[in-house]
Amino acid sequence: MICGLLFSVITFAQAQQDGGRKMRTPEERAQKNAEGLTKRLGLNDDQKTKATAIFLDQANAVNKAREAGSGDKEARRAEMLKLSDETDAKINALLTEDQKKTYETWKAERKDKMKKGMRGDGQKPAGDQ
């Protein structure tokens, strides 16, 4: 009975940390990211298809890294940053010069918001309210 109660508390706590949202599949994450870029940058159909494939590769690599789950937090962080940089370079290669400028501006704004402890929508993270 104690094990059942403990399991319930842990599950509830994890749901609270995730904001009660279920984890999206790599395909769903790739599609959402590509749609977001299409909206922000006006990607054409070919760019959107290629961006979706790039984001899918990234999502699968992130899942693989999470599953490998070494206890070394810094190593995991470094791996995630490496994946992010690789994805960013691939996305940049797809873009026109005007799209690159808009993309760089958006990334700088997003980075600034993250430094201030804000989510992308201008709201404080759920745990900080």
Residues 119 and 129: their CA atoms lie apart, in Å, by 12
pLDDT in tens, 2-40: 433 334 334 444 444 445 567 789 999 999 999 999 999
Residue 103: predicted pLDDT: 94
119 or 47: whose pLDDT is higher?
A: 47
If one compares 127 and 7, the residue with the highest pLDDT of the two is 127
Q: What's the pLDDT score for residue 115?
A: 83
Q: Which long-range contacts (CB under 8 A, 24 or more apart) does 16-21 make?
A: 17/127, 19/126
How is the chain split into domains, by residue range?
A: 21-113
Mean pLDDT of all residues in 42-59: 96
Instruction: Using alpha carbons, select from 47, 49, 56 the residue that is nearest to residue 103.
Output: 47
Spatial separation of the C-alpha atoms in residues 25 and 56, rounded to whole Å: 10
Q: What is the tens place of the pLDDT at every residue in 63-84?
A: 888 887 767 788 888 888 999 9
Contacts of 80 (CB under 8 A, 6+ apart): 62, 65
pLDDT tens profile 86-120: 999 999 999 999 999 999 999 999 888 888 876 55
State CA 24 to chain mean position distance. Answer: 11
pTM exceeds 0.75: no
Q: Which residue has the higher pLDDT, 44 or 11?
A: 44
Nearest-angstrom CA–CA distance, 72 and 78: 10
- For every residue of 77-115, DSSP letters joined together read HHHHHHHHHHHHHHHHHHS-HHHHHHHHHHHHHHHHHHH
Q: ∠ CA 64-67-68 to the nearest 5 degrees?
A: 85
Q: Determine the pLDDT at residue 126.
A: 53
